[in-house]
Homo-oligomer: A and B are copies of this chain.
Amino acid sequence: MTVTSVRTDRRTATRQRIADAAARLASEHGVAATTADQIAAEAGVGRATFFRHFDSKELAVATGLADAAIFVIVGLLAEVPPQVGPLDAVRAAYARLGEDFDANRQTFLDQADLCRSSPAMFAWTLRLYVDWEMAIADAVRPRFVALAPHDPRPRMVGAMAMAAVRLACDEWLVDRGSGDLPALVQEHLDALHLPPDPRPDPRGAR
């Protein structure tokens, strides 16, 4: 798969250490109270190296918080039977992800708060979500049939998946995380099933 040498391995490991250190310090003291120097020191690297790996302090924190999860979700997507359609596969993967939600409820709440703790933190979190979108797009692409070279569908599904998570989190935070986040995510994904033909209104209104 990916080319792996001593050099690239060490670089990846360094990046990982920095992200972990950033997430740990920011979780404990808040993003604003954590300086780039502290993160670099905690990761055992120089300050310059820190900024060689991340474009901003906020991106490092966001990456440290969530970078592991992206591999989890891609892994879960791969486990869904191949004949399941793209969007249903996302639903299934998220459902699996939500199974052990209650055990980590407080962690999720803290991370969601941290991601929104400042406008800059939120902006860079959105930036990271774009990476997730692409990872999900790549993961669901094989599930499309008759896929044109630049077919927009995989990336739109990726965007939809991340939008569902983000908006579900927003809704979840309204009552300080007391609700059922996985259920909210599913509801948001279902919302996308906008009536294929909206006029007849499938919800049977009136």
Residue positions of A touching B, CB distance < 8 A:
55-56, 59, 83, 85-88, 119-120, 122-124, 126-127, 129-130, 145-146, 150-153, 155-157, 159-160, 163-164, 166-168, 171, 184, 187-188, 190-196, 198-199, 201, 203-206
Contact = CB atoms under 8 A, between A and B. Distances in A.
B86 A188 contact: no
A192 B192 contact: yes
Given A188-B156, A194-B86, A199-B85, A126 B130 contact: yes
A187 B56 CA distance: 34
Contact of A153 (B83, B120, B127, B191): B191
A55 B152 CA distance: 33
Contact of A198 (B86, B159, B163, B206): B86
A167 B163 contact: no
A131 B168 CA distance: 16
Nearest to A197: B85
A206 B155 CA distance: 23
